Amino acid sequence: MPSLPDGTPIPALGQGTWHMGEKGAARKAEADALRLGLDLGMTLIDTAEMYAEGGAEEVVGEAIAGRRAEVFLVSKVYPHNASRRGAVAACERSLKRMKVETIDLYLLHWRGSVPLAETVEAFEALRAAGKIRRWGVSNCDVDDLEELGPALADCATDQVLYSLEHRGVEFDLLPFCAARRMPVMAYSPIGQGGKLLRHRALARVAARQGATPAQVALAWTLRDATIVSIPKASDPAHVRQNAAARELALTAEDLATLDAAFAPPTRKRGLAML
């Protein structure tokens, strides 16, 4: 189980909410799926004010009603709201939508025009006020983290695009974070649109394991104890399949098959984003 820099253990497999809250008719099913995930031990839920312009946070609020103590709650602030005053106001809105008093981990969604130092100042004010317990970043590369300077010691995580299709962060970002005992959160670990899951190499490994391609893709991210994987699922069967991926142990042969199809990076690459 990964641990945050302050020693707090968090689940290696959580639940994402990107695209939730976009359709009113689907919200009940989405909340039900998140609750099922909680029942199955996926107690980290990641959301953002950007997702459905607050709609996903409302779904999360419905899902965790009466179960707040079980949940490690992560949300993110828009870059244009990440100013000294703007981040405080945005956090207040997120708290209201989720009907909670505190966010366990509050992230800068990506870098914008607001200086990082100003965003950190706002985060620290929120932490002092008890509105958030920790802060971190998302979609930031090594140079961004280095720019934090001494404040890097208080940065709890970096959430980035990481999957078999997008391995660039392995070259320098993952080692940089691991050296500082900072877990990395992998968003879209099974890709978007299904292209990754149709790859022949993934199908071969899935057949050997008696698993689904999605489970193999998740298990691949979970092979590293410093990674927290946050797939989104709104179908009960997919939620159960995701949870079962924790029990999947990829063999050396499996990993070699996947490395041959999705080569690890040999040089620095620009940070990929969706």
What residue spans define the domains of the chain?
Answer: 24-194+226-239
At the topology level of CATH, where does 24-194+226-239 sit? TIM Barrel (3.20.20)
pLDDT at residue 49 greater than cutoff 80: yes
* Known active-site residue 162: no
Contact predicate 232/33, CB 8 Å: no
Round to whole Å and give the CA distance between 101 and 201.
45
pLDDT at residue 210 greater than cutoff 80: yes
For residue range 154-166, what is the model confidence (pLDDT) as tens digits? 999 999 999 999 9
Comparing C-alpha atoms, which of 268, 71, 240 is closest to residue 167?
268
For residue range 66-111, what is the model confidence (pLDDT) as tens digits? 999 999 999 999 999 999 999 999 999 999 999 999 999 999 999 9
Q: For 20-25, what is the mean pLDDT?
A: 96
Catalytic residue among 51, 106, 162, 187: 51
Name the pTM for this structure: 0.97
pLDDT at residue 194 greater than cutoff 90: no
Q: For 215-219, what is the mean pLDDT?
A: 97
- The distance of Cα 114 from the centroid of its chain, to the nearest Å, equals 23
Q: Is residue 250 very low, low, confident or very high in pLDDT (cuts 50, 70, 90)?
A: very high
Looking at residue 251, what is its pLDDT? 97
Q: How far is CA 187 from CA 47, 55, 218, in A?
A: 11, 19, 11
Q: Is residue 17 very low, low, confident or very high in pLDDT (cuts 50, 70, 90)?
A: very high
Which tokens hold the place of 205? Answer: 């490994």
Strand order in the sheet with 155-161: 44-46, 72-77, 105-108, 135-138, 155-161, 184-187, 227-230
Round to whole Å and give the CA distance between 91 and 95.
6
Query: With pLDDT > 90 as the criterion, what percentage of the chain qualifies?
Result: 96
Q: Round the average pLDDT of the chain to a whole number and report it.
A: 97
pLDDT at residue 186 greater than cutoff 90: yes
Contact predicate 85/114, CB 8 Å: no
Looking at residue 193, what is its pLDDT? 75
Which tokens hold the place of 159? Answer: 């959430």
Length of the chain: 274
pLDDT at residue 1 greater than cutoff 90: no
Kindly tell me the sign of the dihedral angle through the C-alpha atoms of 245, 248, 249, 253.
negative
Kindly tell me the sign of the dihedral angle through the C-alpha atoms of 68, 242, 199, 194.
negative
What is the H or E stretch that residue 124 is in?
helix 116-128
Q: For 244-257, what is the mean pLDDT?
A: 97
Contact predicate 201/255, CB 8 Å: no
